[in-house]
Structure 1
Amino acid sequence: MVHFVGAGSGAVDLITVRGQNLLREADVIIYAGSLVNQELLEVRKEDCKVYNSAFMTLEQVIGEVKKAEEAELTTVRLHTGDPSIYGAIREQMDCLDQLEIAYDYCPGVSSFCGAASALNLEYTLPDVSQTVILTRMEGRTSVPEKEKIESLASHQATMVIFLSTGMLDELSKRLIDGGYQEDTPAAIVYKATWPDEKKFVCTVKTLEKTARENQITKTALIIVGNVLACEYRRSDLYHPNFETEFRKAD
């Protein structure tokens, strides 16, 4: 059996109880290199074999899984955050399907949730934004033409931008071209929930300057939108004049 497990956003105690139990029971752990807090591995069994997938190809990862299956061992494939977001798990699952190897998937706390906690931020505020767009700039990995930053920016929703810290000058230009004002609030969160977490609130125009002045070059999320600093309407759900199946309106 293979268990895909989300390691959480960084802090050791933000892995799920299920995920931690699977790590304790694993015979083989293949974890995602520097992106996963290695303290999580301290719960493993003494005889557990550990592999760092940063040094491995997909074929090598599947090769180790196949060896473990042939030896009737249990494998945990430990991914950063929640594997469903930029985790490259679908291609692994397809390989396991071809080999008729059983697997399941234990979700984790994504870094975009960790970034919100670092900023004490709610991504969705009434009359400000009710949509969160998770995306990335194209780099060595392309993105579909219809999902270019300018197109997504036109919605004026809250945006959380992954894997783009090294392209902030270009990102700012594209966000502004797409419709955000230069003074739209933005934030950079470096290694959310890790012990060395850093956070900086700025504007769309000053993203690159803020990162450069604070020597942030990677492992950071960019948040863009008025939810970072604005007036908003209180929610209807807890308003005394709002009736629900559990509570009568005043």
Structure 2
Amino acid sequence: MTIHFIGAGPGAADLITLRGAKLIGSSPTCLYAGALVPTELLDLCPPNANKIDTANLTLDEITTALTEAHKSGHDVARLHSGDPSVFSAMAEQMRRLDAAGIPYDVTPGVPAFAAAAASLKRELTIPGVGQTVILTRTSARATPMPPGEDLTTLGASAATMVLHLAVQRIEEVVAELIPNYGEDCPVAVVARASRNDEVILRGSLADIAEKVLSADIRRTAVIVVGRVLGATQFLDSHLYSADRCRT
């Protein structure tokens, strides 16, 4: 039997991949984070499936549930919000499954930063403006960041930056980014991207903290910082240029 780690998308139930939906429908056991995974996806589970909300479970308890399902001969749909390759805590689960000799695979999903960019109707890589995207977070109420991955160091290039798990300390984030990006740098905060209750705040590093605090946004949000958010005058991409198409 196989443990299927599945990216459940950023919030809208119809942003699940076809492969992910098929695996959910064929797995007698489903583990999901109740606060983050849309409950509509649970309707895809087989009749009488064992549905386990992991929101309040420890890693040991999750591992036990995965192991017991495997011993019972069940495939398992292990749902992670967004895409499991980023900030999903999938790695430590796979490490334990490796130790137990339990097979698994991974199905990607739509990440939160991509859903936020879609809601903003912005490309994050604009020719001549920004061609690098940094995905990061802060260490408040989470494991410490590795040396050299603080916002001041990462922001030295002034590349487009997307911060997860950081909106609760927006004032500190702004203070750390202003020296590299400037107070006038465009910023957007997208809470609950792709959901019916999505909230989008736009501003600059000078005023975004006040807007976030006024809107009482404290979780399930990404912060996007960079000149690409305000770019209107830029070069057309070489991808569709006449010179390239003639060659």
Q: Is the structural similarity TM-score above 0.5?
A: yes
Aligned-partner SS, 1:146 = coil
Mapped pair 1:122 → 2:118: no
Per mean C-alpha deviation after superposition, the further-off stretch among 208-217 and 72-81 is 208-217
Amino acid at match of 1:153: G
Deviations 1:127-158 (A, max 9, x none): 10000000011113210120100111111111
After superposition, where does 1:82-93 map in structure 2 within 5 Å?
Answer: 82-93=83-94
| 1:195 Cα offset (Å) | 1.0
Amino acid at match of 2:80: H
Which residue of structure 2 aligns with residue 167 of structure 1?
169
Deviations 1:147-170 (A, max 9, x none): 100111111111000000110000
Deviations 1:8-34 (A, max 9, x none): 111111000000001111111010220
Mapped pair 1:13 → 2:14: yes
So what's the TM-score if we normalise by structure 2?
A: 0.96
| Alpha-carbon separation, structure 2, partners of 1:207 and 1:124 | 22
Which residue of structure 2 aligns with residue 104 of structure 1?
105
Amino acid at match of 1:223: V
Deviations 1:185-228 (A, max 9, x none): 00000110011111111101212101012221111100000011
**RMSD in angstroms over aligned alpha carbons?**
1.0
Aligned-partner SS, 2:77 = strand
So what's the TM-score if we normalise by structure 1?
A: 0.95
Which residue of structure 2 aligns with residue 145 of structure 1?
147
| Runs of 4+ that moved beyond 2 A | none
Aligned-partner SS, 1:145 = coil
Which residue of structure 1 aligns with residue 193 of structure 2?
192
| Alpha-carbon separation, structure 2, partners of 1:45 and 1:131 | 42
| Alpha-carbon separation, structure 2, partners of 1:94 and 1:136 | 23
| Alpha-carbon separation, structure 1, partners of 2:227 and 2:134 | 14
Amino acid at match of 1:136: R
Which residue of structure 2 aligns with residue 232 of structure 1?
234
- Number of aligned residue pairs: 244
In structure 1, runs of 5+ residues without a counterpart are none
Amino acid at match of 1:37: P
Which residue of structure 2 aligns with residue 44 of structure 1?
45
| 1:110 Cα offset (Å) | 0.2
